[in-house]
Amino acid sequence: MINLVLFGPPGAGKGTQAERLTEKYNLVHLSTGDIFRSNIKGGTELGKLAQSYMDAGNLVPDEVTIKMLESEVDARPDAGGFIFDGFPRTETQAKALDSFLNSKRTEVTMMLALTVDDEELKTRLLKRAETSGRADDADPKIIENRIAVYKKETAPVAEYYRKQHKLKEVNGVGSVDEISRRLYEAVEDHG
């Protein structure tokens, strides 16, 4: 079983690359952002709870996010492996994921971290706002907040995996194909 954590700041290209990795390695793709957005669309209780946090560019509380992620994993008992996109985003989430996967006798295989500089991120997110319809993409102040939240709460998660010798940093600037190739190399380089 191979379980990949795809990591990087907002706008790093996680969604695009996750789809490619999912196909290539026959994984189940779990994007916490997508799951929250579909709950908002569907008007569920979870969606109502998540919306105010997301619109402001803040993180949804750990307890809620962890519970949701675990139930998504449990709903796919036949999966050959997962790609976690947008999770874990805090150290608490990373620890919860470790113990959850351990209880299923599996583990995170590696974290693939896409690196992209701040200026490039802002340009990409504002461009995405033209088509995504996402409130959190449209306002430069909210984008700044998401990048700030990333630096403060999420970036330390990379150190968590570095300590476990599971962190692989991949240059996230270039063409989509180039970046995919770099990611495949990083995956195949593993043991």
Please report, as ranges, the residues that interact with ligand ADP according to CB under 6 A.
Answer: 10-11, 14, 32-33, 36, 53-54, 57-60, 65, 86-87, 89, 93, 136, 146
- Nearer residue to ligand ADP within complex by CB, 64 or 186: 64
Provide the token pair at 74. 């449990």
Least distance from C-beta 174 to ligand ADP, angstroms? 19
- Nearer residue to ligand ADP within complex by CB, 110 or 116: 116
- Nearer residue to ligand ADP within complex by CB, 140 or 190: 140
Tell me which residue has tokens 């995956």: 187
User: From CA 178, how far away is CA 172, in angstroms rounded?
Assistant: 9
User: From CA 76, how far away is CA 74, in angstroms rounded?
Assistant: 5
Least distance from C-beta 92 to ligand ADP, angstroms? 10
The answer to whether 105 is a known catalytic residue is: no
Least distance from C-beta 106 to ligand ADP, angstroms? 19
Among candidates 7, 2, 21, which has minimal Cα distance to 111? 7
Among candidates 157, 124, 136, which has minimal Cα distance to 53? 136
Least distance from C-beta 11 to ligand ADP, angstroms? 6
Q: Of the residues 134, 162, 166, 181, which is catalytic?
A: 134
The answer to whether 162 is a known catalytic residue is: no
Provide the token pair at 60. 């949804």
Q: Taken in order 20, 182, 104, 60, is the CA torsion positive or negative?
A: negative
Catalytic positions are: 14, 89, 128, 134, 146
